[in-house]
Structure 1
Amino acid sequence: NSIEVLAKKAPVVYSYKLLNTYTHDKEAYTQGLEYKDGYLYESTGRRGQSTLRKVEIKTGKVLQKIDLDAKYFGEGMTIFNNKIYWLTWQSRKGFIYDLETFKQLGSFDYNNSNEGWGLTHNDSELIKTDGTNKIWFLNPENLQEERSIQVYTHDRALDKLNEIEYIDGKIFSNYWKTDGKGKATIAIIDPNSGAVDGLIGLDELRDIVLKEQTLEQDDVLNGIAYDAENNR
């Protein structure tokens, strides 16, 4: 038998205000996204198409790019101590790169989880999702998944947690689609308890994108970044 502990309160549901839109490569299957020193760093997915990029925000111009070995499906990434940590999806392996040169410095294996989805960090740990309702905390020295939390609302487990970002002491996670149309939801998670404190509904963003392109089955929210200096 097992015991599931639900959150005490229902999550607060937030709306949003769209402030800006920027040009982006429509061929890039965005997975991870990170803001640093005025630039976006982006990892993209699909086998044979996975790349790591440094991007100029306002123009979408790719300033720097490397390709991942074609046998891997690239997933989420984060920047920690001037190193880029990049996950793969089902290969149970991640890679480490120099922030300035994009030179590969090493690799690491997942010792507990089976898949890699999203990646972020707090002051002392890397934080990883694996497509379930678990969030893993990794020791940045040896990249071991040392502990985990399970994410719950007041009435259910919230699985399919995808790309994440650590913002003001909370974990913001894209929530993988729940139906064929693809829900667009960000969950705000307490990193200590796993309780979902809030939900941000962004379904209307799909309507904006539909005006310019035909959406595929897997066109959903992915890649989330935070600019702490400008609070955006």
Structure 2
Amino acid sequence: MNERRGYGFIYSLAAASIVLVMAGGICAADRNPFDTGFLPIYGFEVIKTYPHNPKAFTQGLVYRDGVVYEGTGRRGRSTLTSFDLFSGKVLQEIKMDRQYFGEGVTLFGDKVYQLTWTSKVGFVYQAEDLRQIKRFSIPFSGWGITHDETQLILSDGSMTLHYLDPITLKVVKDLPVRGPLGGVTGLNELEYINGEILANVFPTNQIARIDPVSGNVTSWVDLTQLRETHPGNTGTLNGIAYDPETDTILITGKNWAEIYGIRLVLRYERSVQPGGTERGRFFK
């Protein structure tokens, strides 16, 4: 078991607040950047690491019963692969047609759904053998995909999440996502975990935790220190899955050599003091 704690904070968002936020007539640059109405910020603790193919240009990740399903990108090299989480052994792999740039994947029931980027099409496969059984069209570019109890949830890189009926594969609802400073764009890889949507915000090292009813961001997860362990030719964070057996979030990125099983650790929150004064508090 390889343990590591992440203590970074989302300085990019703080910088944005310095430019954009005016509070009570006082410029935010004159205050602690995290005292601008920011939501709670979580770091992480690495519980365990698992092997990951460093050649995989990860675009989507999902996990069930010891098996990881991964979608990779790049035109002419996009794949859908299933492999053993613990050994990294490939169980099955299919190559997409050269015209497609593979994107996010999710496992809903006994089917795997995979998106493509600019082609505006998705594919449905049988999970047991990755046999393609259906193709469907979407009216936007495909980025990330997950699902709740009844519907598929897709991102397209904008501030809007799209809900699809898993049978008709038609859009039934759009959900704008907003944080304290307004719309949150760049929504990418998605995972629905215990009643909330986790979305990595491309191209940052941050994950937004989203209320699926209101679309409001409820807190942030900063994975900067995890990303910084992968310098050089490795790419951005782009894989989020959930292991219910260990209650850990599985995290990887483009061309990373590991998948990390992490738990979230609160690093910053605001509280209301006697008299109604708000104050931010950092945690070690």
Q: Same fold (TM over 0.5)?
A: yes
* Residues 1:137 and 2:176 are matched in the alignment: no
CA distance in 1, matches of 2:193, 2:42: 16
Aligned to 1:92: 120
Aligned to 1:107: 135
- Of the structure 1 ranges 160-169 and 21-30, higher mean CA displacement relative to structure 2 is found in 21-30
Give the match's secondary structure for 2:228. helix
CA distance in 1, matches of 2:38, 2:216: 9
Equivalent residue letter for 1:152: R
Task: Measure how far apart 1:77 and its partner are.
Answer: 0.7
CA distance in 1, matches of 2:225, 2:143: 24
8 Å CA contact 2:66–2:86 kept in 1: the answer is no
8 Å CA contact 1:186–1:201 kept in 2: the answer is yes
* Structure 1 gap ranges (5+): 1-8, 178-182
CA distance in 1, matches of 2:150, 2:111: 14
CA distance in 2, matches of 1:10, 1:138: 31
Query: Which 4+ runs in 1 deviate beyond 3 A?
Result: none
Aligned to 2:72: 44
Aligned to 2:30: none
Task: Measure how far apart 1:230 and its partner are.
Answer: 2.3
User: Deviations for 1:17-50, whole angstroms, at most 9, x for unmatched residues?
Assistant: 1122222111110011111111111110010111
Q: CA RMSD in A?
A: 1.1
Aligned to 1:118: 144
User: Deviations for 1:200-231, whole angstroms, at most 9, x for unmatched residues?
Assistant: 11111122112xxx135xx1110110112321
Task: Measure how far apart 1:10 and its partner are.
Answer: 3.4
* Structure 2 gap ranges (5+): 1-36, 249-284
Percent same amino acid among aligned pairs?
Answer: 42
* Residues 1:164 and 2:185 are matched in the alignment: no
CA distance in 1, matches of 2:65, 2:227: 29
Aligned to 1:225: 241
User: Deviations for 1:125-170, whole angstroms, at most 9, x for unmatched residues?
Assistant: 0010000000010001100011111111111211000010001110
Aligned to 1:150: 176
Q: Which gives a bigger RCO, structure 1 or 2 (Cα 8 Å, sep 6+)?
A: 2
Higher helix proportion (structure 1 or 2): 2
CA distance in 2, matches of 1:122, 1:92: 22
Give the match's secondary structure for 1:86. strand
* Residues 1:195 and 2:212 are matched in the alignment: no
Give the match's secondary structure for 1:208. coil
Equivalent residue letter for 2:187: L
Over alpha carbons, which structure has the higher Rg?
2
CA distance in 1, matches of 2:173, 2:185: 17
Give the match's secondary structure for 1:117. coil
User: Deviations for 1:182-208, whole angstroms, at most 9, x for unmatched residues?
Assistant: x31111000111100010111111221
* Residues 1:185 and 2:206 are matched in the alignment: yes
8 Å CA contact 1:10–1:197 kept in 2: the answer is no
The TM-score normalised by the length of structure 2 is: 0.73
Aligned to 1:215: 233
CA distance in 2, matches of 1:65, 1:143: 24
Give the match's secondary structure for 1:18. strand
CA distance in 1, matches of 2:178, 2:233: 30
CA distance in 2, matches of 1:201, 1:19: 16
Task: Measure how far apart 1:63 and its partner are.
Answer: 1.5
